[in-house]
A and B are shown apart, each in its own frame.
Chain A
Amino acid sequence: MKKSTSTNINLLPGIVILGLLIIWQIISQLNIIPTYMLPSPISVIEAFVSDFGNLMSNMWITLLEALWGLLLGIILGLLIALVMDMFEPIYRAVYPLLVISQTVPTVAIAPLLILWFGYGIMPKVVLITITTFFPVAVEMLDGFRSTDHDLITLMKTFGASRWKIYYYVKFPSSIDNFFASLKISVAYSVVSAVIAEWVGGFNGLGVYMTRVMKAYSYDKMFAVIFLISIISLLLIFLVNLLQKIMTPWRNSHHEQSRSSN
């Protein structure tokens, strides 16, 4: 019984999206908004299919940038969290700067990065790294600092070194924080890649988007937007899957509580 209600909840967003698409299609078909301004869903799908090759070749570039940037962002975020957790004075000195750094809009730094690093993949990766390290750093720092103090005490009675305390207690205790930040950073990474490509580049979904926009092919532009959403959703789905695999004690808990019902 419980299970059927939960599948209903999972279906609900799908139903809402389908409903919106139908309304959108009707609006276009009745010409309430002219189709050159808002292409109908069906024409967007047609554009997606006919343009599939182009979309894919550009997607790989964007995806490559996003994943490199994300990887570097995660590493940088983890390092910053680690150093700030290990050294209290650094925490107090750096934390405010870290927050201030996030008030600088990415669109503003993108042209600068292109000036410094050229039109290749490099400025994109740098921009993504800058935007994705922050959630990881803040969340991991929070995880490290809120680790049960008694667990650390226990590790000390086992004679554990500082590194072993991180390895056996602080990192695993912060795994939920890590995945929470990863979900945010994954979404940021794709959007940042597209923004960086808008500003300048030779290929990628952002470049392609500006190109079709200048040609007034709004159906193609919507197809790109559609693709970007799908990529982000797929990546977040993968992160959720990874989280499930890496936190088996959670699953076992659910199984137990379900069977005891």
Chain B
Amino acid sequence: MDQIEIKNIKKSFGSHQILNDISIHVDSHEIVSILGVSGVGKTTLFNIVAGISNPDQGQVIYNQQDITGQSGFFSYMLQKDLLLPYRTIMGNAILPSIIKNTSKKEAIQKAAPAFKIFGLEGTENKYPNQLSGGMRQRAALLRTYLASKNVNLLDEPFSALDELTKRNIYKWYLDLNQKIGTTTLLITHSVDEAVTLSDRVYILSGQPATITKELVIDSPQKRTDDFELTEDFLKYKKEILTSL
């Protein structure tokens, strides 16, 4: 069971209030997106959920336990890829395991098969500066995946990918989510991405930002290959666009 409840979060930087009374919840195995324009406060909210920064008010509750201000419960993929330039891709991928005192050999064994899934075969011994932007982002996603927490917080994880790769990755992520039963909270700029991936979408807008809409994506055609071409898809998209 992985239940996250974010209750009445408020946050200001100096006299500038960014977040006002944000409450959202994510249930086990759900993929929930947060959609909002640039600068609205999405990353700020994520840092609070991840326990990296403290809210001025409100709580982050994980499985009935108050974890406000504590990090290490969730895998968090930050907006920048943040690969360590002086470690190879494999070295980067196994870092979360090594930090938890797994032996290097064991960590590599666990990581190696995942390189194929992420389309990163052959990059194991390369350094991040030898990879393209999209590959770096996949490598960062791979590392987040290998951090193997039940809950993933992903801050615009697919933004540097081309359309085709994106579609494959969406499919792959949905499969993975069903297979392993991860729970995901996702930030995105892309309405299409939100509708394709999510079970629910929250829209964050205003200054200070509040949750202005919650949308449940429960079309029966969801998770079919042609979902993007259905009327339901367009209907959701329209609904989101009008409230942004």
- By size class, the interface of chain A is 20 to 34
Nearest-neighbour CB distance to chain A for B206, whole angstroms, equals 27
State whether the Cβ of A244 lies closer than 8 Å to any Cβ in chain B. no
Q: Are A156 and B82 in contact (CB under 8 A)?
A: no
Q: Are A164 and B85 in contact (CB under 8 A)?
A: no
Among the stretches B21-29, B71-79, B187-195, B218-226, the one at the interface with A is B71-79
A183 to B113 CA separation, bound complex (whole angstroms): 43
User: Closest B-chain residue to A255, C-beta based?
Assistant: B130
B129 touches which of A154, A159, A172, A252 (Cβ 8 Å): A252
Nearest-neighbour CB distance to chain B for A73, whole angstroms, equals 25
Q: Are B86 and A247 in contact (CB under 8 A)?
A: yes
State whether the Cβ of A72 lies closer than 8 Å to any Cβ in chain B. no
A155 to B143 CA separation, bound complex (whole angstroms): 12
Nearest-neighbour CB distance to chain A for B77, whole angstroms, equals 9
A158 to B153 CA separation, bound complex (whole angstroms): 13
Q: Are A154 and B78 in contact (CB under 8 A)?
A: yes
Q: Are B71 and A159 in contact (CB under 8 A)?
A: yes
Q: Are A153 and B99 in contact (CB under 8 A)?
A: no
A159 touches which of B84, B99, B130 (Cβ 8 Å): B99
Q: Are B82 and A253 in contact (CB under 8 A)?
A: no
State whether the Cβ of B52 lies closer than 8 Å to any Cβ in chain A. yes
State whether the Cβ of A157 lies closer than 8 Å to any Cβ in chain B. yes
Chain A residues with CB under 8 Å of B85's CB are 249
A168 to B104 CA separation, bound complex (whole angstroms): 14
- By size class, the interface of chain B is 20 to 34
A98 to B82 CA separation, bound complex (whole angstroms): 34
A157 touching B76 in the complex, CB below 8 Å, given contacts A168-B84, A168-B99: yes
Complex interface bits, A147-162 against B, C-beta within 8 A gives 1, otherwise 0: 0101101111111100
State whether the Cβ of B50 lies closer than 8 Å to any Cβ in chain A. yes
A173 to B80 CA separation, bound complex (whole angstroms): 17
Nearest-neighbour CB distance to chain A for B85, whole angstroms, equals 6
State whether the Cβ of B118 lies closer than 8 Å to any Cβ in chain A. no
State whether the Cβ of B95 lies closer than 8 Å to any Cβ in chain A. yes
Chain A residues with CB under 8 Å of B82's CB are 148, 150-151, 154
State whether the Cβ of A169 lies closer than 8 Å to any Cβ in chain B. yes
Q: Output the residue of A157, A172, A173, A256 with the most chain B CB within 10 A.
A: A157
Q: Are A158 and B127 in contact (CB under 8 A)?
A: no
State whether the Cβ of A175 lies closer than 8 Å to any Cβ in chain B. yes
Q: Output the residue of A154, A160, A164, A253 with the most chain B CB within 10 A.
A: A154
Q: Which of B112-135 touch A at CB < 8 Å?
A: 126-130
A172 touching B147 in the complex, CB below 8 Å, given contacts A156-B71, A159-B99: no
Chain A residues with CB under 8 Å of B78's CB are 150, 153-154
Chain A residues with CB under 8 Å of B100's CB are 158-159
State whether the Cβ of B181 lies closer than 8 Å to any Cβ in chain A. no
Chain A residues with CB under 8 Å of B58's CB are none
Chain B residues with CB under 8 Å of A160's CB are 99
Complex interface bits, A163-175 against B, C-beta within 8 A gives 1, otherwise 0: 0100011001101
Q: Which of A234-261 touch B at CB < 8 Å?
A: 247-249, 252-253, 256
Nearest-neighbour CB distance to chain A for B43, whole angstroms, equals 10
A150 to B128 CA separation, bound complex (whole angstroms): 17
Nearest-neighbour CB distance to chain A for B90, whole angstroms, equals 13
Nearest-neighbour CB distance to chain B for A147, whole angstroms, equals 11
Chain B residues with CB under 8 Å of A154's CB are 76, 78, 82
Q: Are A249 and B72 in contact (CB under 8 A)?
A: no
A169 to B87 CA separation, bound complex (whole angstroms): 10
Chain A residues with CB under 8 Å of B99's CB are 155, 158-160, 164, 168
Q: Output the residue of A153, A173, A247 with the most chain B CB within 10 A.
A: A153
Q: Are A252 and B127 in contact (CB under 8 A)?
A: yes
Chain B residues engaging chain A, CB cutoff 8 angstroms: 47, 50, 52, 71-72, 74-76, 78, 80, 82, 84-87, 95-96, 99-100, 126-130, 147
Chain A residues engaging chain B, CB cutoff 8 angstroms: 148, 150-151, 153-160, 164, 168-169, 172-173, 175, 247-249, 252-253, 256
Q: Which 7 A-B pairs have the closest CB atoms?
A: A159-B72, A249-B127, A157-B76, A158-B96, A253-B129, A172-B86, A158-B99
What would 13 A/B residue contacts be, using CB atoms closer than 8 Å?
A148-B82, A150-B82, A151-B84, A153-B47, A154-B76, A154-B82, A156-B72, A157-B147, A158-B99, A175-B86, A249-B86, A249-B127, A252-B127
